[in-house]
Each structure stands twice: as structure tokens, then as C-alpha cells.
Structure 1
Amino acid sequence: MRLQAVTLVVPDYDIGIAFFVGKLGFELIEDTPRGGGKRWVMVAPQGGETRLLLAEGKGERQRAAIGNQTGGRVGFFLETDDFDRDHAAFVERGVTFTEAPRREDYGTVAVFRDEFGNLWDLIQCR
């Protein structure tokens, strides 16, 4: 078994695509209309296996989850093979880091916030 996808609630499909594809450099795997304004939108890091299913928040309960899907904790971990390259590219594209990069026993890491409020780790493991 493997984890194929994780759902991430976003305010709008196109805004989600713009962030993940435009700023993080993810690949748009699929964008298929499902009727009634719904779409099946899958993105993934270049060469990555696990995908994000972008789900447009509908209704009060789903919209309340946008940016707070893990209760304010880092919930997503984006591993890189070249921290300096990817950190610089993210900064250049306007990604907001909440801290400067730091070296830990397990590798180099920095926390960033997506445009919706969720916290992510950019990490290069040793």
C-alpha cells in the first residue's frame, strides 16, 4: 500500500492551482470537471508520488477548515534534495517563510505558510 493522495481544502480551485503550480512548482496532474461546479483537481511535486487533491470549500464548515486543517501545527512536509535551491526559488516566487532556515540533527528545515494559512516544512534530510 501507499498513500496516494491527501485532500486539502482551498477557497477556490484556480487559486489553489496558482499557488501549488505557480509558486511551489508542483505539476498539475488532473483538472476534470465533475458537474455542478465541482472539479477533480490533483497536484503533486515534480517527481513526487503522493498527490494533493484540491477541494474547493463549500459551506460554512468546509470554509472554516481552510488554512487550519491541522489545528495550527505543521501538517505537510515537503522533502527536497537541494534545500538551498528550493528555498531560494520559493522566496523568489513569494512564498512566506515563518522562520529562517535552521540546521537540525535530522537535516535542514524551514517552515512556510501556504497562501491559505497551512504550515509546511521544507526539509532536506541528512
Structure 2
Amino acid sequence: METPPPRALLGLTTLVVADYDEAIAFFTGPLGFTLVEDAPLGGGKRWVVVAPGVGRGAGGTGLLLARAAGADQAARVGDQTGGRVAFFLYTEDFEADRRRMLDAGVHFEEEPRHEPYGTVAVFRDLYGNRWDLLQPAAPGPAPR
């Protein structure tokens, strides 16, 4: 019998930003993320990790906020996926989170939609990257 592969978890996703401090302020303010780590690396670089909820180690993925280095990276700030939704922020209380985000100035591109998979609305982060705020549908009975 084959041994199953070790359990893997996607730990971090890099988000290229224009400025560390303004990105930290946006993610920990309007989006309610936790600043998990902010360590200097020398030469003006920092290791900055933010995560929704209680942060890394809770089974979720964190964002590594990486300041753009050079013109090629700077050109991708705000459009890292060619205009597609790049990130999916799951919530247990769509209306409360959406209201909090709207009150903090987050721009939503649409009114909430109710899809078979849940309630969703697209918003943009401070640089223009597109995100889904998504409350998954409650699991129902298994199909027969």
C-alpha cells in the first residue's frame, strides 16, 4: 500500500504593493486583517505578512506584501491577474463585513449577488486588484 503524501498547505501568496505602510494600513484597517509579521530585511526591504482573522497558523493563507522593486514590478501593482478577480475573501457574515468595508471606503463594483455557491460581491483593494467577498452557501443535503 502506498504511503499518502504529506499534508500540504498554501501558506503565503505574494501581493506586489507600492508602499508597505499604506498596504498594511489598508489590510489591517478596512479589511480587518491581522499584521502577522513585519521584519526588516535590509536595504529598505521588509518581510510583511497580513492575514484575515487570527492570522497564519489558523489554517488559512496569508499575504506577503512585497514592495515593487523596479519598473516591471511597479507596472503590475493593482493588475497582477490581468483584470480577473485575484483573491477570494471568505466571510461568515457577508452583510456585516460588507457594511464595515463600505464604511471604511472600500469600493465595491457591484451589489451583492446570490449564487448557488453563496453570496458574493467584487471589490477592489487600494491598488485596484479585484477581490470577491464571498459567504459560501450553507451546505445542504447531499445530492441523490
Fold shared by both chains (TM-score > 0.5): yes
1:15 aligns with one of 5, 8, 22: 22
TM-score, L = length of structure 2: 0.86
Q: Report how far residue 22 of structure 1 moved.
A: 1.2
| Corresponding letter in the other structure for 1:71 | G
Match of 2:10 in 1: 3
Distance in 1 between residues matched to 2:45 and 2:54, nearest whole Å: 27
Once the two structures are superposed, the pairs formed by residues 58-77 of structure 1 within 5 Å of their partners are 58-77=69-88
- Larger-gyration structure (1/2): 2
Aligned length: 126
| Corresponding letter in the other structure for 1:63 | A
| Corresponding letter in the other structure for 2:50 | V
* 1:46-71 superposed Cα distances (whole Å, 9 cap, x missing partner): 13521000000011000011001111
| Corresponding letter in the other structure for 2:32 | G
Pair 1:117 & 2:128 matched: yes
Q: Report how far residue 78 of structure 1 moved.
A: 0.3
* 1:105-124 superposed Cα distances (whole Å, 9 cap, x missing partner): 11100000011010000000
Match of 1:26 in 2: 33
Q: Report how far residue 102 of structure 1 moved.
A: 1.0
Match of 1:44 in 2: 51
Match of 1:87 in 2: 98
Structure 2: give runs of 5+ residues left out of the alignment.
Answer: 1-7, 138-144
Q: Which has the higher helix share?
A: 1
Pairwise CA RMSD of aligned residues?
A: 0.7
* 1:3-59 superposed Cα distances (whole Å, 9 cap, x missing partner): 000000000000110110111010000000000000000000013521000000011
Distance in 2 between residues matched to 1:12 and 1:116, nearest whole Å: 10
| Corresponding letter in the other structure for 2:91 | T
TM-score, L = length of structure 1: 0.98
Local SS of the residue matching 1:121: strand
Structure 1: give runs of 5+ residues left out of the alignment.
Answer: none
